[in-house]
Amino acid sequence: MYRCGCGAGPDFSCVSAYGRRTLRVAGAAFTALALVVPARAQETVTLPEVSVSATRVERESLDLPVSIDVIDRRTIREAGPQVNLSEALGRVPGIAVQNRQNYAQDLQISSRGFGARAAFGVRGIRLIADGIPATMPDGQGQAANFSLSSAQRIEVMRGPFSSLHGNAAGGVVQIFTAEAPPEPTFMVDASLGSYRSARLGLQYGGRHGPLGLRLEAARFETGGYRDHSSARRDTSNARISYDRGRAGRLTVVLNSLDQPETEDPLGLTAAQLAQNPRQAVAAAYVFNTRKSIAQGQAGFTYDIDLGGGHALQARTYIGDRRVTQYLAIPLAVQAVPTHSGGVVDLDRSYGGLGLRWSHEGQLAGRRAAFSVGVDHDRMAERRRGFINNMGSSGALKRDEDNRVENADVYAQAEWQALPRLGLLAGLRHSRVRFESQDYFIAAGNADDSGAVDYVRTTPALGASFRVSPRLNVYANAGRGFETPTFVELAYRPGAAAGLNFALKPSTSLHRELGIKALTGDHGQLNAALFRIDTRDEIVVNSAAGGRSDFRNASGTRRKGLELAWQQRHAGGFESALAWTLLDASFRQPFVSGTPPLVVAAGNRLPGVAARQFYGELLWRDAASGFHAGVELRHVGKVYVNDRNSESAAAYTIGNLRAGFMQRGRGWRFSQFLRVDNVADRGYVGSVIVADGNGRYYEPAPGRAVTLSATLEFRY
């Protein structure tokens, strides 16, 4: 049941050959698509209103030479119970969002293969909420405090311009809270689902003179698909705006997360997966593996129009995150003098500020826009470790202060050089500094203090050519930059003392060619062909006994094709598809692990599927407020380690959804029903890359039903 249905052997030859054939004909496919779309130069076309913030000055996405997709408010609401990003982002090509069914470890998000190795949290991708970073200066972030139920839209950008937002090579995911409605509005939403899952949310929004409010509080609880995987999550989100007219606009964003005693079932080995995918391993009970999180954050932005096309934005934010996590590590291993123990106790404060000037005007008589800015972000944490004595905290094993901060400057320029040719360029200079002060120095455990700086400049350049009012072609190129995280710097190979100073940041060269076309009166098609060459890719060297150390691989290459299409048809039908083909592999052999083993050139990057597909067909009756749809999702085979010795099989699942909406004067009542994995297929939803115990696999639920209802009323 967990074997690849294509019958491919361990060399993954079926997908590799398929990928090579597709990439060879991609250029011809681009040409064919261009011929399909009418190219009447004199035609007047009204473009869809899809504005994005990729250039820090809002533009129509069709005109920008970047891969960017927007998920609107209606799609977010209909995609699921609005618990996490995996519900909505699956329809974006190039993005893999795996719901691990383990709320102790957060989501696993990767973009064009970047971030797939993350054992917990999100790395390699910048997360931004209402202009406030949700990614720390070292490149690691969490998406648990993203509020989906109050979101207006989500923007997802891939490619080289992502690096202009900071320390990340893979992409940028931005969420924007909806503006306050003009009239006072209350909303209650509730959902019940399989595996004892439930969510209740309350919202208020409204304008009171110059003051705009959008307030939300929600609780989510689940018993979990697997044993020992229950969770409770309380969240709140507030967006408060104060419009001072010509004096500017102040926006305050407040959010909090309280997630106590979240159970961690741990991953499964292949044998355990075949025996019972819902089980938790014995060590999860012996050591009572669990995690508690408490986070609070406040962000402030001030926007002012200076006149003459000039604008200024200032932002600042502060936050605190406290984590206590119990890991499953044998007592004998924890007793080793250099081991940090099986209980993580983390108290982290963070914050930052930024200032950006932008100008919209003309250059040589044609439209132009410029942005120049500075960012300074910092994170300071007190990290301690204790013995996990069968679920209880024991003796101290680790005690240190860590600090990481960045000081960046950036500039972007957009220019309509010719009536049909637009140019976009950007440059960011980043300095990231890590410091660690070790207070736990004992016999056999030397001083692990140290500091290291990483400095890089990342340029990007793109051009967009309007073939016709319905068709744009574009190209871009640029460099990416990704530092190690503090977790990746923490240990040297061989249990040596000090930070892993031998670990270098990875650098990448991105190249992309794409088209953006309007199809019919109500549709759009985007396609992108890309290649990314990375030097010093950060990979797991060894992982055992709760201690992981990292090294650099010589080089990797990612090349692929992304296709996204959305269309509204006659008779109330709507369709959408997202298709990704990604060939991500090591270019040169290297040695890693204990004992050392050779990773062959040509091996595929672990955690990265070679192909993904999402398709949707929906019928909507505006008169009755009824809609019904079917979804198809396919994910290819995924290797779990650099040596490609094991893998999670490809899978295909189908989902159904339906909804009603009733309206009255000042009120609206919506009901949604979703059935995920209709055929009750057994499959692995995510993998833990390079797990030292061979517990690579995190199984996904079988058939799951969710019923949601939302009541909204105005007065």
pLDDT for the residue numbered 527: 97
Higher pLDDT pick, 45 / 671: 671
Q: Residue range 2-8: average pLDDT?
A: 39
Whole-angstrom CA distances from 551 to 112, 479, 486, 505, 536 are: 21, 21, 14, 10, 8
Q: Residue range 194-218: average pLDDT?
A: 96
- Phi, psi angles (nearest 5°) of residue 71: -105, 120
151 forms beta bridges with 177
**pLDDT above 60 for 559:** yes
Give CA–CA dist 206/185, Å, rounded: 6
- Asked if residue 6 belongs to a domain, the reply is no
Task: Please work out, in degrees rounded to the nearest 5, the angle formed at the alpha carbon of residue 166 by the alpha carbons of 164 and 170.
Answer: 80
β strands within 10-102, DSSP E: 51-52, 59-60, 67-72, 95-98
- Asked if residue 247 belongs to a domain, the reply is yes
Give CA–CA dist 8/63, Å, rounded: 41
User: What would the two tokens of residue 480 be?
Assistant: 């990416």
- Asked if residue 8 belongs to a domain, the reply is no
Assign 1 a pLDDT band (cuts: 50, 70, 90): very low
Rg (CA), the chain: 25
pLDDT for the residue numbered 64: 92
Give CA–CA dist 687/29, Å, rounded: 33
* Burial class of residue 564 in the structure, from the number of CB atoms within 10 Å of its CB (0-12 exposed, 13-18 middle, 19+ buried): buried
pLDDT for the residue numbered 330: 93
Q: Which residue has the tokens 């261009």?
A: 34
Whole-angstrom CA distances from 115 to 82, 92, 509 are: 23, 16, 17
Q: Residue range 692-705: average pLDDT?
A: 93
Among the residue ranges 10-14, 182-186, 681-685, the one predicted with the least confidence is 10-14
**pLDDT above 50 for 447:** yes
Q: Residue range 502-519: average pLDDT?
A: 94
Q: Which residue has the tokens 């909090």?
A: 256
- Asked if residue 592 belongs to a domain, the reply is yes
- Asked if residue 64 belongs to a domain, the reply is yes
**Does 505 sit behind a cis peptide bond, omega within 30 degrees of 0 on the bond before it?**
no
Whole-angstrom CA distances from 30 to 476, 583, 584 are: 16, 19, 22
Q: Residue range 26-47: average pLDDT?
A: 40
Q: Write down the mean pLDDT value for the chain.
A: 89
pLDDT for the residue numbered 448: 86
Give CA–CA dist 65/55, Å, rounded: 10
This prediction has a pTM of 0.90
**pLDDT above 60 for 662:** yes
pLDDT over 90 for what percent of the chain?
A: 74
Q: State the residue range of the domain holding 407.
A: 13-714
**pLDDT above 60 for 283:** yes
Higher pLDDT pick, 4 / 474: 474
Assign 23 a pLDDT band (cuts: 50, 70, 90): very low
Higher pLDDT pick, 170 / 513: 513
* Burial class of residue 299 in the structure, from the number of CB atoms within 10 Å of its CB (0-12 exposed, 13-18 middle, 19+ buried): buried
pLDDT over 70 for what percent of the chain?
A: 91
- Asked if residue 2 belongs to a domain, the reply is no
Whole-angstrom CA distances from 390 to 202, 268, 330, 341, 543 are: 39, 20, 9, 12, 21
Give CA–CA dist 621/98, Å, rounded: 32
CB-based contact 261:295 (threshold 8 Å):
no
Give CA–CA dist 124/138, Å, rounded: 10
Q: Which residue has the tokens 């105005």?
A: 714
pLDDT for the residue numbered 51: 61
Give CA–CA dist 200/189, Å, rounded: 6
Q: Residue range 300-320: average pLDDT?
A: 96
**pLDDT above 60 for 16:** no
Q: Residue range 411-421: average pLDDT?
A: 96
Higher pLDDT pick, 34 / 445: 445
pLDDT for the residue numbered 445: 85
Q: Residue range 261-286: average pLDDT?
A: 96
User: What would the two tokens of residue 568 be?
Assistant: 């509204």
CB-based contact 640:690 (threshold 8 Å):
yes
pLDDT for the residue numbered 546: 60
pLDDT digits (tens, 9 = 90+) for 231-269: 999 999 999 999 999 899 999 999 999 999 999 999 999
Of 376, 370, 447, 452, the residue nearest 411 (C-alpha): 370
DSSP state of 488: H
Among the residue ranges 399-403, 485-489, 704-708, the one predicted with the least confidence is 485-489
- Phi, psi angles (nearest 5°) of residue 61: -60, -30
Whole-angstrom CA distances from 634 to 108, 258, 628, 631, 656 are: 17, 34, 21, 10, 15
Whole-angstrom CA distances from 226 to 48, 284, 699, 702 are: 44, 12, 8, 11
Q: Where are the alpha helices (DSSP H) in 37-85?
A: 73-78
Q: Residue range 317-328: average pLDDT?
A: 96
630 membership: H or E segment, kind and range: strand 626-635
Q: Residue range 555-572: average pLDDT?
A: 95
- Asked if residue 55 belongs to a domain, the reply is yes
Give CA–CA dist 238/332, Å, rounded: 47
Between strands 197-208 and 211-222, the pairing is antiparallel
CATH of the domain at 273: 2.40.170.20
pLDDT digits (tens, 9 = 90+) for 52-87: 676 666 778 888 999 999 999 999 988 888 888 888
Of 307, 295, 305, 298, the residue nearest 347 (C-alpha): 295
pLDDT digits (tens, 9 = 90+) for 573-626: 999 999 999 999 999 999 887 678 899 999 999 999 999 999 999 999 988 899
- Domain count along the chain: 1
631 forms beta bridges with 616, 655
CB-based contact 540:597 (threshold 8 Å):
no
- Which H, E and C letters describe 514-565, residue by residue? EEEEECCCCEEEEEEEEEEEEEEEEEEEEEECCEEEEEEEEEEEEEEEEEEE
